[in-house]
Amino acid sequence: MVKLQLDIKADSRYGFDRNRVREALTKALIEHGQDGNIEISLSIVGERKIRELKKKYFNLDEVTDVLSFPLEDGEAMLGDIVICYPQAKRQAMQWNRLVDEEIEFLVCHGLLHLLGIHHD
């Protein structure tokens, strides 16, 4: 059984369904065989902050939709997921879906990176 502790930091101007995010993360954790107490930090930020993080940690001066920062293996705290709300909003419009749907997708994408599942 997964017991998720989700710490969400988001400016009040970035409206999204926190319960939907929690449910999506819990479902994805179960689907990927995770069990027990799991802690994840989620930050919803603007373009300036995501660009700053991308430059600091990846040496790329650009805006991106989601960044993940995993912690050491075996820890209950999986790591941090950072989502750029303005970018998520643009992508939602591009894909003709709700911002909440895009944020759910990005959170799950970020979770996969925390679990060590990567793409090219």
Strands 66-70 and 77-84: antiparallel
Classified as helix, coil or strand, 50 is helix
Q: Residue 32, annotated ligand binder?
A: no
Question: Could you tell me if 65 and 106 are in contact, meaning their C-beta atoms sit under 8 angstroms apart?
Answer: yes
CATH of the domain at 41: 3.40.390.30
DSSP tag of 72: -
Query: Which tens digits make up the pLDDT trace of 64-98?
Result: 999 999 987 666 889 999 999 999 999 999 999 99
Is residue 44 within 8 Å of 16, Cβ to Cβ?
Answer: yes
Residue 69 belongs to a domain: yes
Q: How many domains does the chain have?
A: 1
**Which residue range is the domain that position 21 belongs to?**
2-114
> Would residue 52 count as lying in a domain?
yes
Segment 2-45, tens digit of pLDDT: 999 999 999 889 999 999 999 999 999 999 999 899 999 999 99
* 120 within domain boundaries: no
Buried b (16+ CB within 10 A) or exposed e, 76-111: ebbbbbbbbbebbeebbeeeeeebbbbbbbbbbbbb
Burial class (CB in 10 A: 0-12, 13-18, 19+), 21: buried
Is 118 known as a binding-site position?
no
> Is 109 annotated in some ligand binding site?
yes
Would the pTM of this model clear 0.85, i.e. be above it?
A: yes
On whether the CB atoms of residues 82 and 45 are closer than 8 A, the answer is yes
- Does the residue 119 lie in any domain? no
